[in-house]
Homo-oligomer: A and B are copies of this chain.
Amino acid sequence: MITIYKNQNGSTQVVDRVDPDWLRPDSGVWVWVDLAAPTPEDSRILSDVFHFHELAIEDALAEIHHPKVESYGDYLYLILHGIDFKAREHAFKTQEIDFFLGRQYLVTFHGGTSRSIGRIAEICGRNERILGEGPATLFYRIVDTMVDNYRPEVDKLSDRLDALEKEIFSRPKSTLVRRILDFKRDIASLRRVIMPERDAIGRLARREFPQISESLSYRFRDVHDHLIRFADEAVYFQDRISSLLDAYLSNVSNQLNAVMKVLTIISTIFMPMTVLTGLYGMNVPLPHLPGGENAQFWWILAIMAGVTCAMLLFFRRRNWL
């Protein structure tokens, strides 16, 4: 679906086609073309009207790309990603948006409904002045909304990490490994989106491209700052998840230790008893044993109790109990 906003002398209209005359430097007109889940038909506007480079168009049509920014002289081509953390599927669903930013136009291209673009379109509908600020500022507004949408997703991840940590220390189960590794993957995929995005926005903030004015570069510096923090948090998450794996594995070792102690204590107590009962069960005269021929059962029980107590004392001194 194509939506075209034409802005002339500060007033905005939604039109249904782009007149190539508008794109002339002195036309006094600028347009925002939003291609949402475009048909091949719709996409033809990129080449026929705007004459974008075929490789940029190819990249836009192919859905899977890394965030990047590329200058084609007159216009910038950017790929940025919105994120949407689906905890159940252990994957950050990323929503790719392609931007073509020229002096007199902004073209946005995305597969489905984008929350950020929807939001900005809605604001523009309410407030004509927004579109009056020109394509670069509009572009900034979309990017800013997009990056602001990261916060709740990252917080969700952080919360789930806290929950996992609690569980590891309270109820370690062997299935937790899988969840830890799934988390590690989530975080890696988060980093793979944020890192190149941070670098792309950083280039806008450093004013590498003439399309970005100085006052706008301050704003992109702010967005860049947010992305630096997200990247930093992703690194921190990675640290934490590997600590959790350490904790889990050390827990497993400790459990093994505990199990082995139980076994050792039990064996050490009952084995001497077995020998003792065996001794008194031999078909052999026991002349000088405690109790001798008329061995008293109580004597035997007393010896057993003694051995048990000695063993328990020995283990307590070793800090096993």
The answer to whether B291 and A295 have CB atoms under 8 Å apart is no
B-contact bits for A253-289, CB 8 A (1 contact / 0 none): 1111111111110111011111111111111111111
- The smallest beta-carbon distance between A265 and chain B, in angstroms, is 9
| A1-9, A116-124, A219-227 - the one binding chain B | A219-227
The answer to whether B256 and A260 have CB atoms under 8 Å apart is yes
A222→B72 CA distance, assembly (Å): 12
Residues of B within 8 A of A258 (CB): 174
Residues of B within 8 A of A181 (CB): 243-244, 246-247
Q: Interface size bucket, A side? A: 35 or more
Residues of B within 8 A of A58 (CB): 222
| A38-46, A84-92, A228-236 - the one binding chain B | A228-236
Interface residue A209 (Cβ < 8 Å from any Cβ of B): no
**23 A-B pairs (CB sep. < 8 Å):** A66-B225, A70-B221, A177-B247, A177-B251, A184-B243, A185-B240, A185-B243, A252-B257, A259-B264, A262-B268, A263-B264, A273-B278, A274-B274, A274-B278, A278-B278, A278-B281, A280-B283, A280-B284, A281-B281, A282-B283, A283-B283, A284-B297, A289-B297
Interface residues of A (CB under 8 A from B): 53, 55, 58-59, 65-66, 68, 70, 72, 169, 171, 174, 177-178, 181, 184-185, 188, 192, 218-219, 221-222, 225, 228-229, 232, 236, 239-240, 243-264, 266-268, 270-289, 291, 294-297, 300, 319-320
